[in-house]
Amino acid sequence: MPIIAGASISELPAQLAQIFYTIMLPILLLAGIGWGIQRKLGLDMATLRRLNFYFIMPALVYGAQDDDQTWHIWADFFAPDVGLIERCKRDRVPYDVWAREGFITLTPGASVDLEIVAQRMIDLCDDHSILKIAYDRWRMDIMKKELTDLGAELPLIMFGQGFRDMSPAVDVFEAALFNEKLRHGNNPVLTMCAANVRAVQDPAGNRKLDKMRSTGRIDGIQALTMMMGVAAKPEGDADPPSVYEGRGVLEL
């Protein structure tokens, strides 16, 4: 009896069916999803590569300490206007209300327009004496390009998201919180982020922040913790350049 690839001819239909379901069907589904997204949202490939900003909420968090060592915090959040109501329903969060109240800046399109975020960073540096800007290196190359195109050179400092870098920042944030040294003007987006965050610990006792649930947004609290962490570092105590330099979601 002729044998093909270790299977008899009588088994060939089953083998072809297995190949179709395990290899061809997933490829066809992915191609169909990509085609559907492009037709539905009108996105080109450059925009599709930036869809990560559709699923998160870029945050600029900035603050200063008074003579009593109390932190006064302000925050800007950004979100795309396309799909806003759907995200409100999915997350059960009133993003639309917060946008109308000025707590979230909506940018046109299906992904956050990073030029708007970059311009806001520049305006903040022009209006205030901002000494350090801590950022998450993931996809930060996109934001740096926007800043370069706008002719800006800002005091950017890469801030790692692992236990080694985040643990001291979590300690600083926790101390200020427990000692009632944080004032954020009842910002509802920051309050939501605080409700979604938890601290996780490695075997050595180092801590970093994590989501309590997959759809929870913690960008604001993450940015706030990074800001307080970089502010607590002594001058000249900068980390050496990383091979991942140039990647990151903006956090100020």
The DSSP result for 19-46, as a single string, is HIIIIIHHHHHHHHHHHHHHHHH---HH
Cβ neighbours around 35 below 10 Å, total: 10
CATH code matching the domain that covers 52-232, chosen among 1.10.3470, 3.60.90, 3.30.420, 3.40.30: 3.30.420
Instruction: Please report the pLDDT score of residue 21 as a whole number.
Output: 57
- Chain-centre distance for alpha carbon 115: 16
Instruction: Please report the pLDDT score of residue 149 as a whole number.
Output: 94
HSE on the CB side for 104, CA within 13 Å?
Answer: 27
Instruction: Please report the pLDDT score of residue 101 as a whole number.
Output: 96
Strands 207-211 and 197-201: antiparallel
CA 90/CA 116 separation, integer angstroms: 26
Query: For each successive 10 residues of the chain (252 residues), what is the average pLDDT?
Result: 37 57 56 44 38 54 88 91 90 94 92 90 89 83 90 89 92 93 92 92 93 82 90 64 43 45
Residue type, 14: A
CB-CB contact of 162 with 186 (8 Å): no
CB-CB contact of 167 with 206 (8 Å): yes
Instruction: Please report the pLDDT score of residue 135 as a whole number.
Output: 86
Name the pTM for this structure.
Answer: 0.70
